[in-house]
Structure 1
Amino acid sequence: MSGRVRKLVGTIVLLVFLVVYIAIAGAIGSGRISEANSFFRFAYFIVAGLLWVPPAALLIRWMVRPD
């Protein structure tokens, strides 16, 4: 796979992943987490806000890999 195609595929996969991740994290955050106390809400949003970074970093590393 050439570098240009890999970057195109990676970009599309990353955008789809982020949209799905945001929808799931938002649904969880507005559902059961909204009834929890402040500490658990804070912890959830910290974890949910950072949990997407490792998969995205792996995908970006794959996208910029030399041919």
Structure 2
Amino acid sequence: MPVRLRKFIGTIIIVTLVIAYALTATTLATVVLDGRSAWAALAYFLLTGLIWIIPAMFIIKWMAGPPADRG
């Protein structure tokens, strides 16, 4: 697959991931954090704000393609 196409597909996947993840995390927060302290909310949003990086990292790695042969 050409690199340009791979980057285009990866960009669409990442944007979709971020939107879906943000909506899910926010919806879940309204259920989980109901009546909790501000510290619990801070910890929840800090954690969920960083977790999306893990799948995005794999998508970006895929977008870069296989390493070039240096032989």
> How high is the TM-score relative to the length of structure 1?
0.86
Structure 2 residue runs of 5 or longer lacking an equivalent are: none
Identity %: 31
- How many residues align? The count is 67
Question: Does structure 2 retain, via aligned residues, the 8 Å contact 1:10–1:59?
Answer: yes
Asked which structure has the greater CA Rg, the reply is: 2
Structure 1 residue runs of 5 or longer lacking an equivalent are: none
Moved over 6 A (4+): none
> How high is the TM-score relative to the length of structure 2?
0.82
CA deviation vs aligned residue, 1:11-48 (integer Å, no higher than 9, x gap): 11111111100101111223331421122111101101
Say what the alpha-carbon RMSD is for the aligned residues: 1.5
Higher helix share: 1
